[in-house]
Amino acid sequence: MHPRLIVLTGATRGLGRSLVPQFVEAGHTVIGCGRKESLVQELRKSFASPHRFDVVDVRDAAAVEAWARSVLKSHGPPALLINNAALMNSPAPLWKVPAAEMKDLFDVNVIGVANMIRAFVPAMVALESGVIVNLSSLWGRSTSPEVAPYCATKYAIEGLTLALAKELPQGMAAVPMNPGIIDTEMLRQAFGNGAGKYHNAEAWALKAAPFLMSLGAKDNGKSLSVA
């Protein structure tokens, strides 16, 4: 597979962080972002140019747009845009979830994805090339108690992505992807120690990275899962 440019949000933790070395070892160039300066610096030390990692808050539309302009100037449009950054709510009945926490989830999990699409996808559309993968969840296609805010955001991602798929030119693809159940910090927020019975992010990435790189126009508008 020829080298490709990948833009990845939430690159500093969890699933995003586990994907970075897999993509790099396969010869691809990774442009990633996260909110914590120390974790971004660690990525910069581990993966030098042409890879690029920056502190960006996907909730901030102006910051995302400025970052995209810089990336497009330095590297060009991505072949693969992965919107991975997300938050989980603290488990509780919906009526006990604070308004501020609910807003944070929607701002990151939904508005953040829209901000990235607005900033990067026009350049991809101009080339009529590229794949947009928005991380969904099993809880974007089913529900459980005490995670209603998270379920709501991931259902929104399913709808947003499937609608986007109908707007793209032929040759492109938009895919909502359920990564499966993985032992991450986020899952432990919901499952506690019960998350430990699932495989970790590094093991998941061994399958997920080649799966992501295999996606193309044939997959446009399909709700997919990493097997």
**Cβ proximity of 205 and 15 under 8 Å:** yes
Per the annotation, the verdict on 198 as an active-site residue is no
- Report the Cα 42 to chain-centroid distance in Å: 20
Locate 97 and state its tokens. 């979830």
Q: Which of 210, 50, 218, 83 is closest to 156 using CA atoms?
A: 83
Other C-beta atoms closer than 10 Å to the C-beta of 21 total 15
Which residue type, as a one-letter code, is found at position 48?
Answer: A
State the catalytic residue, choosing from 150, 165, 184, 187: 150
Instruction: For the sheet with 80-83, list strands across it.
Output: 52-55, 29-34, 5-8, 80-83, 130-135, 172-178, 224-225
- CA distances to 77, 82, 227 from 23, in Å: 17, 12, 19
Active site residues: 150
